[in-house]
Amino acid sequence: MSQRVYICSAADSGALKKLLEYDPYLDKGLNEQQLLELKSNPDANVIFTRQDYLLKDGISMNLDREKYYLYINAQDDFLEQGEKKLKARIKSIERASPELESKIISDIESERKESEQGIGSIFG
């Protein structure tokens, strides 16, 4: 598994949220034929909601308040296909610089570790 961070403008965050949350296999508006066609469509099978991701606004991360930051932890092949889909659908999306990506990944891992420790002390 690999981790990546992407940045998008706050103006595109609504479209990004919809893309991240959409699972075509759970879409009640699709008929049986459309569901069968999904299996042969590689783009349709790039489903972000089935991955480990986190979308945070810049304010909550003490970063640019006009940006949103997308953290994804997934298999390398998914990340390659996912990046293509993100760039095709979200015009302002770009991958974070290596320095910023490293900082955000470290911050998220620390946040998760603290959360796990807090839950452990409750149920410990």
Question: pTM of the entire structure?
Answer: 0.88
At which residue do the structure tokens 């990340």 appear? 79
pLDDT at 72 > cutoff 60 = yes
Structure tokens at 46: 């790039």
For residues 7 and 63, the answer to whether their CB atoms sit within 8 Å is no
Residue 18 amino acid letter: K
Fold of 2-123: Alpha-Beta Plaits (3.30.70)
Give the pLDDT score at 68. 98
Most confident among 3-17, 33-47, 110-124 (mean pLDDT): 3-17
pLDDT at 114 > cutoff 90 = no
Identify the CA nearest to 99 among candidates 90, 107, 87: 107
Domain boundaries, the chain: 2-123
